[in-house]
Amino acid sequence: MAKGIKQDIENLLIEVGHELFWKFGFKKVTVEDVCKKAGVSKMSFYRYFGNKTDLAKRVLDKVLSEGIEKFRIILTDDDTIANKMHRFIALKMEGTNDISKEFVEDLYTDIGSEIQLYMAQRSTEAWVSVMEEFRAAQSRGVFRSDFKPEILFAMSKDIAEIVTNPALNSLYANTQEVIVEWVNLITFGIAPRDENTERREVTSATNASEEKCQTLDK
């Protein structure tokens, strides 16, 4: 079999595995399901993967690698901090929108399983890579030097819950406004600020305070 054809079949199986695992969960999907959807024989499947878990690992590798690359592009391109934050959130939401409840449960509740341990390992490696990218961005002045990237990522883990919270959403016209609010709060804290900007803000705050006191004295 030609190398190009072999690569095409391997990539096809990974794409189909990605689609089915994300939609139905890891446990429910069988090798037969993947082969049927991909239009290949089980014999062909086992030429590339030892079992379903091996395929799932390759799917996770692909998803994590693509996510890190997209994240790197956002950090390094010429865009404003606010826009970068919007894109970070969109990227995170994009990565979770199509994941079924079954897949999440299979991945995170089956403690000690081979696929769960592999995901934990790869997530740790991805985290290290992302932190390196953030620190490189800091050195270029994208973020202020004393900013700790870890706190942003800890907060971003809850963004999906935040933007889908019914009570919170009732305060805004739509979900996008909730996201904008979150972005503005985060951006104000991590955007570089020059001395002139800080001086203007301090002066403005002082003047406002003085005007309030004068009003109260009248």
Please give the pLDDT value at position 176.
67
- Within-domain flag for 38: no
- Within-domain flag for 143: yes
Q: What are the C-alpha distances in Å from 4 to residues 55, 59, 107, 168?
A: 19, 20, 32, 51
Q: pLDDT by residue for the chain (218 residues), tens digit each?
A: 555 666 799 999 999 999 999 999 999 999 999 999 999 999 999 999 999 999 999 999 998 898 889 988 988 888 888 788 788 877 877 766 667 778 877 777 778 889 889 988 888 888 888 888 888 888 888 888 888 888 877 776 676 677 667 888 788 887 667 777 777 777 666 666 554 444 444 344 334 444 544 554 55
Query: In the numeric block, which tokens belong to residue 39?
Result: 């239009």
Q: What is the CATH number of the domain that holds 128?
A: 1.10.357
- Within-domain flag for 52: no
Q: Is 141 left (phi over 0), alpha (psi -120 to 50) or beta?
A: left
Q: What string of H, E and C letters represents the secondary structure of the chain?
A: CCHHHHHHHHHHHHHHHHHHHHHHCCCCCCHHHHHHHHCCCHHHHHHHCCCHHHHHHHHHHHHHHHHHHHHHHHHHCCCCHHHHHHHHHHHHHHHHHCCCHHHHHHHHHCCCCHHHHHHHHHHHHHHHHHHHHHHHHHHCCCCCCCCCHHHHHHHHCCHHHHHCCHHHHCCCCCHHHHHHHHHHHHHHHHCCCCHHHHHHHHHHHHHHHHHHHHHHHC
Residue 122, domain extent: 57-201
- Within-domain flag for 14: no
Please give the pLDDT value at position 199.
41
69 HSE (CA, 13 A, CB side) = 6
- Specify the pTM: 0.69
Q: Which residue has the tokens 């799932």?
A: 56
- Within-domain flag for 212: no
- Within-domain flag for 10: no
- Within-domain flag for 207: no
Please give the pLDDT value at position 92.
72
Contacts of 88 (CB under 8 A, 6+ apart): 71, 74, 156
Please give the pLDDT value at position 195.
45
Q: Give the span between the Cα atoms of 218 and 25, in whole angstroms.
A: 68
- Within-domain flag for 98: yes
Q: Give the span between the Cα atoms of 31 and 170, in whole angstroms.
A: 44
Q: Name the domain count of the chain.
A: 1
